Amino acid sequence: MGGRKIKMKFSVTSILLSFTTLLLSIKVNLTILKDYWSTDGKTQALYGLLDLKYSYKYYFLIISFISLSFLILAFKNKELNTFKYSATCILMIGIISIFVSFWKWFI
């Protein structure tokens, strides 16, 4: 079975890092939602300002940039397209999840 060796280590690493970013972002948004539900009506009206205490979620961009660097290496090493494009989609979803406050959709 001589043939080409399947290369996909950089894209798989990028996928794992992007999933990590996505899961951390979901966890932060769920925490914000639980805090919102536990506050009274006056505090809920100003919760956009109180949301600032969760600004540490922007540090998750560091993980996304590391994931992007692995994705660039995957494109340079000509890894399988399926993994490269999957990693690209998951990376974009992970970055968007950092900036979009989807906890507001549940109120």
Report pLDDT digits (tens) over 60-84.
999 999 999 999 999 998 888 888 8
**HEC string for the chain:** CCCCCCCCHHHHHHHHHHHHHHHHHHHHHHHHHHHHHCCCHHHHHCHHHHHHHHHHHHHHHHHHHHHHHHHHHHHHCCCCHHHHHHHHHHHHHHHHHHHCCHHHHHC
pTM: 0.82
pLDDT score of 40 more than 50: yes
Report pLDDT digits (tens) over 44-64.
777 777 678 888 999 999 999
